[in-house]
Chain A
Amino acid sequence: TQLLEQSPQFLSIQEGENLTVYCNSSSVFSSLQWYRQEPGEGPVLLVTVVTGGEVKKLKRLTFQFGDARKDSSLHITAAQPGDTGLYLCAARGGSGGSNYKLTFGKGTLLTVNP
């Protein structure tokens, strides 16, 4: 069974601070996605990365896929209260995995205080 370990589990910061959350595994993945989930809603896709070493930017969010395609990070610059939510990484492939089944980590619950 492939596992995605996310850290930290909880993060509470002040508006304007920078932060990085991590998603790690011992498996190699064909693709990795980051979703954000707000209370009472389903997760919404932020980004998909497929190439080792790939870096993608989405406004104040920077996503990186590790060279070996086993890990990923999400960096937020100048966090805002609207960034509050549960950040989930999810991946396909990996040892024992399939190309269609999306496996999720447990998430990082981010709170940005005004």
Chain B
Amino acid sequence: GAGVSQSPSNKVTEKGKDVELRCDPISGHTALYWYRQRLGQGLEFLIYFQGNSAPDKSGLPSDRFSAERTGESVSTLTIQRTQQEDSAVYLCASSLYSGGAGELFFGEGSRLTVL
């Protein structure tokens, strides 16, 4: 079975443009997470989806950031009016279980560079 798939793997954009990042989780995984990783840093939680429940958006850094997920399938993270500080690797992960000691399976990330 395929792992978590993210696209694009690399994106270079100009300041002020909108970008959309896509995540295709492992089939059957109900939980989906987005994290941001700046150069040399750990992972910063952005948003969490669990089935049809309301997402936990508490980690989104500003209203320029939004994310959607249709059911238990693909998720998209949208950044509007990108700024240079948005440059980072955006990692998506999925999990079979939402809590306890469940393992997160990560994609390879989408590297965003804002010029």
Residues of A bordering B, CB below 8 Å: 6, 30-31, 33, 40-45, 48, 50, 88, 90, 92, 98-107, 109
Q: A13–B94 Cα gap in the complex (Å)?
A: 34
B33 CB contacts on chain A under 8 angstroms: 102
Q: Are B107 and A42 in contact (CB under 8 A)?
A: yes
Number of A-B contacts (CB under 8 A): 63
Interface size bracket, B side: 20 to 34
> Would you call the interface of chain B mostly helix, strand, loop, or mixed?
loop
Q: A104–B36 Cα gap in the complex (Å)?
A: 11
Q: Are A102 and B56 in contact (CB under 8 A)?
A: no
Q: Are B100 and A101 in contact (CB under 8 A)?
A: no
Q: Is B42 an interface residue, CB under 8 A from the partner?
A: yes
Nearest A residue to B92 via CB reads A42
